[in-house]
Amino acid sequence: MRGKGITILCSWITAICLMLTPAAVYAETAGQDTGAGQENSTSEQGTTQDNTLIEAPSGILMEAETGTVIYEKDKDTRRSPASITKIMTLILIFDAIENGTLKMEDTVTTSAYAKSMGGSQVFLEEGETQTVETMIKCIVIASGNDASVAMAEHIAGSEQEFVKRMNERAASLGMENTHFEDCCGLTDSPSHYTTAHDIAVMSRELVTRYPKILEYSSIWMENITHVTRQGTSEFGLTNTNKLIRSYEGCVGLKTGSTSVAKYCLSAVAQRNGITLIAVVMAAPEVKARFRDATAMLNYGFSKCSLYVDEKMSKLPVLPVKKGVEDEVPLVYGSQFKYLNTDGKAITEVKKNLKIHKEVKAPVKKGQQAGEMVYSMDGKELGRVAILYGKTIDKATYGDCLKMIFKEAFS
């Protein structure tokens, strides 16, 4: 038995010498490219720019899953957003719920300052308490300025601190043409502005990251109960977004209007697995914003088809040379999504996995190992990065000796 162990030991020592001798790092599959690829693909067709489609001076149509812009008109001009501002307020509310500092059943007390808000309100009294869930409904259904300020104070201590966080969140989303001065959009300050594009970006963040908001923004009418020192009374909330009743598939999101902003809207509609966001800014009258949103949504649904790889192919393990382990698992960097905007259906999508045959240690978890390439009718649709699912350190002489003795005497 000892002689057999010595024979195995000698064989392993020879293998060590060969393994630690410098060699070519990779053996690539013939004709395959492992350069960085897109994680989420969108269509390569151009964005439509037809100034006659909508009456308002600024508008945009965006598909929510991929962020593809399907239609645009003067999308980057800074304008007053009015109550569209509350979309960012809602994002921060749901951020707080997600991180555990806020719960739907928590109660929020209305301050004198929150009660003093003019414009759209749900007539909260000083000292009145409502649950976070009720406040969300008051904000998204009835556009309550008082509820928005009450929530801002509850989360951040003051509206000023909350607005600071709103601007930080906007910056994190790449909203380069946005600056907030309040949490509800009541101000007419020229320093309170955003664009149609930035509204679409924050609308997309809200509805894709926190889809529960659509349960509230699609409510047409609902009553809340005021409990104050004067007694108990019912108050009816009616959705300011008339498309909820008149447009098939509309599930949100937010309206806004002031004398400076004129009439604004961020409308969200869903059909056939596609979610579209239509933003209208500075429409000349109240009905025009709904007509414009309808025109954009109709255009989008007539042109768009979405492919989502719901059954991502199982990935192999990759052999590792000169590592403390001899193989590494692979994972996808993201789910593949592709939006087609030429009106044609997406069928018979093909997948081609491009990875190395083996890899040389060390490898780091999260580094790119290759790509999955998607195509249809010979045309590439996009790529998803394939990543190493585990860190594998380079084997030292000590590691090799441990493996040898374990193998020889186990």
pLDDT digits (tens, 9 = 90+) for 313-372: 999 999 998 888 889 999 999 999 898 888 888 888 999 999 988 898 898 999 999 999
> Residue 319: left if φ>0, alpha if ψ -120 to 50, beta else—which one?
beta
| Mean pLDDT of the region 266-277 | 96
Residue 123: CB atoms within 10 Å: 13
pLDDT of residue 221: 96
Nearest partner of 223 among 212, 232, 214, judged by Cα? 232
Place of tokens 């490898």: 363
The rounded distance, in Å, linking the Cα atoms of 222 and 263 is 24
The dihedral built from the CA positions of residue 58, 61, 67 and 70, taken in this order, carries a sign that is: negative
| Mean pLDDT of the region 174-189 | 96
Q: Is the pLDDT of residue 13 over 60?
A: no
Q: Is the pLDDT of residue 122 over 80?
A: yes
Contact 219, 196 (CB under 8 A): no
Q: Is the pLDDT of residue 149 over 50?
A: yes
Q: Which residues are catalytic?
A: 83, 86, 143
Please count the residues of the chain: 410
User: pLDDT confidence of 139, banded at 50, 70, 90?
Assistant: very high
φ, ψ dihedrals at 151, nearest 5°: -70, -40
Q: Which two tokens stand for residue 292?
A: 């414009």
Place of tokens 């976070």: 132
Percent over 70 (pLDDT), the chain: 85
User: pLDDT confidence of 22, banded at 50, 70, 90?
Assistant: very low
Beta strand 318-321 pairing with 359-360: parallel
pLDDT of residue 42: 43
Residue 124: CB atoms within 10 Å: 28
Contact 389, 331 (CB under 8 A): yes
Residue 333: CB atoms within 10 Å: 20
Q: What is the per-residue DSSP string for 365-381?
A: TTSEEEEEEEEETTEEE
Q: Which two tokens stand for residue 317?
A: 């393990």
Q: Is the pLDDT of residue 171 over 90?
A: yes
Contact 350, 381 (CB under 8 A): no
The rounded distance, in Å, linking the Cα atoms of 219 and 215 is 7
| Mean pLDDT of the region 237-245 | 97
Q: Which two tokens stand for residue 132?
A: 């976070």
What are the tens digits of pLDDT across the range 34-89? 333 344 444 445 566 678 899 999 999 999 999 999 999 999 999 999 999 999 99
Contact 113, 153 (CB under 8 A): yes
Q: Is the pLDDT of residue 203 over 90?
A: yes
pLDDT of residue 52: 87
Least confident range of 49-58, 167-176, 210-219, 391-400: 391-400
